[in-house]
């Protein structure tokens, strides 16, 4: 998928979960397809868990100027690593702490993703993000988080993020 390019957001946000007090990290970024803004994502890195697990909130659709949220859709994806394999699971969008994320467009459940024919596109873009974003890929590989291009920041207040 060489027509996809990625731009990382400027910070790594430290989040303290309001239900368990566990620390998490959040990063965000943009994906372009053939030069057009195509996706926006937030990734929650569950850094205190034994196995790397990412909660990816992903909106796909036109994101350039003069586009409307109704032209886009978003979903919540749980991503875990297995040896030589990424595991994706589309969750209920209400589990996202961004819900209802109106700017992201229409929230889709796993059934709605399948019915809309977007499964392949979501998998391609998700895989591209977790392999290309240096913070996410380093975390999923079990290394220290690669913070290149980003600075640390604390979240405003606590958030439920399990």
Q: How far is the CB of 116 from Zn ion (least distance, A)?
A: 31
Listed ranges 20-28, 80-88, 117-125, 143-151: which one lies at the site for Zn ion (CB under 5 A): 20-28
Among 3, 7, 10, 19, binds Zn ion (CB under 5 A): 19
162 binds Zn ion (CB under 5 A): yes
Which CB, 45 or 129, lies closer to Zn ion?
45
What tokens were used for 138?
A: 């380093």
Q: How far is the CB of 16 from Zn ion (least distance, A)?
A: 9
Count of chain residues binding Zn ion (CB under 5 A): 4
CB 76 within 8 A of CB 96: yes
Which CB, 21 or 83, lies closer to Zn ion?
21
Q: What are phi and psi of 13, to 5 degrees?
A: -95, 130
- The separation between CA 92 and the C-alpha centre of its own chain, rounded to angstroms, equals 14
What tokens were used for 100?
A: 């209802």
Q: How far is the CB of 50 from Zn ion (least distance, A)?
A: 15
Among 12, 15, 17, 60, binds Zn ion (CB under 5 A): 17
DSSP class of residue 133 equals: S
Max Cα distance, the chain (Å): 43
Q: Which residue has the tokens 């399948």?
A: 114
Residues at the site binding Zn ion, with contacts judged by CB under 5 A: 17, 19-20, 162
């Amino acid at each position: 998928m060489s027509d996809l390019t990625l731009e990382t957001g400027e910070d790594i946000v430290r989040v303290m979960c309001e239900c368990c007090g566990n620390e998490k990290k959040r990063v965000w970024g943009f994906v372009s397809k053939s030069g057009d803004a195509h996706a926006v994502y937030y990734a929650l890195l569950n850094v205190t868990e034994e196995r790397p697990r990412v909660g990816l909130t992903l909106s796909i659709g036109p994101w350039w100027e003069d586009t409307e949220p109704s032209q886009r859709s978003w979903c919540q994806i749980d991503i875990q690593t297995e040896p030589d394999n990424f595991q994706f699971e589309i969750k209920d969008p209400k589990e996202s702490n961004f819900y209802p994320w109106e700017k992201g467009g229409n929230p889709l459940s796993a059934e709605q993703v399948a019915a809309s024919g977007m499964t392949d596109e979501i998998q391609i873009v998700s895989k591209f993000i977790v392999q290309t974003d240096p913070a996410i890929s380093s975390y999923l590989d079990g290394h220290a988080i690669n913070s290149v291009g980003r600075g640390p920041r604390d979240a405003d207040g606590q958030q439920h993020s399990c």
